[in-house]
């Protein structure tokens, strides 16, 4: 297994230590795998917020789109029981909940609303409240 394969395995299993080893061996946090997914997509889809944090700190793009047009935040919407911390981590690192659309035309925000994932949606509402507190225009529901 090469370093990037090890990184993808680390993202899938939630192993930060394996991710560190893979990057030390030359894996890039932004490496693109099959289907255009990055290790960050995989970590987000599995709800592995600690691996996501490590990848983001290493330069992974929180708004990168895979072959389906999904960002890591789209992926986090599908795993509601695991995603609250992952949502927070991705948004804290610049993931745009109302930004990139997937091939079906859905933003991460719209996907969360469609799936009726209360916790994920509450995180988006909190993100919007923080924007208002900083004097920025509210964007939820646009």
Which residues 6+ apart lie within 8 Å of 10 measured at CB?
16, 18, 19, 21, 22, 39, 51
Q: In CATH, what number does 3-133 get? A: 1.25.40.20
Task: Give the predicted TM-score (pTM) of the model.
Answer: 0.81
Burial (Cβ within 10 Å: 0-12, 13-18, ≥19) of residue 82: middle
Q: What is the pLDDT of residues 79-114, one digit of tens each?
A: 754 567 888 899 889 999 888 999 999 998 888 777
Domain ranges of the chain: 3-133
Q: What is the pLDDT of residues 75-86, one digit of tens each?
A: 998 875 456 788
């Amino acid at each position: 297994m090469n370093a990037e394969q090890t990184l993808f395995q680390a993202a899938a299993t939630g192993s930060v230590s394996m991710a560190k080893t893979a990057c030390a061996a030359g894996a890039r946090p932004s490496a693109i795998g099959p289907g255009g997914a990055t290790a960050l997509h995989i970590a987000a889809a599995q709800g592995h917020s600690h691996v996501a944090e490590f990848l983001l700190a290493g330069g992974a793009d929180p708004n990168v789109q895979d072959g389906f047009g999904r960002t890591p935040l789209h992926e986090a919407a599908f795993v509601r029981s695991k995603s609250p911390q992952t949502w927070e981590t991705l948004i804290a690192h610049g993931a745009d909940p109302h930004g990139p659309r997937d091939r079906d035309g859905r933003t991460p925000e719209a996907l969360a609303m469609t799936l009726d994932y209360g916790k994920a949606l509450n995180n988006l509402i909190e993100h919007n409240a923080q924007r208002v507190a900083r004097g920025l225009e509210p964007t939820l529901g646009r």
